[in-house]
Amino acid sequence: MIRRDLPDGAPDGDVIRFLDNRGLWHSGYTEGEQPIRIPTTPTDLIPVRKRYVIAKVSNAKSAGLTRWDIYIVFFFDQQRRLLNYDIMEIGAGL
């Protein structure tokens, strides 16, 4: 759906409408340190300023006592146009 409805270069307002139309929680457009990082190299520990919208799909799946949420981080350029996005599953529970 993302690739089909949000081409590269889509304005941030289109991303917000895409999320709102699907009833997904989102942060709104934000400028600051990269929101979700999993450091794998020493340079990953250095905060990087980004332009982004975070979205969350709650309880996307569950297994036993663990539930999984899906986080989507949409990244933008200086003109608030979509550059790319990352999708991550994050589990919580036992």
pLDDT, tens only, 38-51 = 556 666 666 666 89
Q: pTM, whole model, 2 decimals?
A: 0.79
Q: Give bridge partners of residue 35 from the DSSP assignment.
A: none
Number of domains within the chain: 1
Burial of 55 (0-12, 13-18, 19+ CB in 10 A): buried
| Domain span including residue 16 | 2-37+46-93
Q: Give bridge partners of residue 71 from the DSSP assignment.
A: 56, 88
Of the candidates 63, 86, 65, 62, which has an alpha carbon nearest to the alpha carbon of residue 74? 86
pLDDT, tens only, 62-84 = 877 888 899 999 999 999 999 99
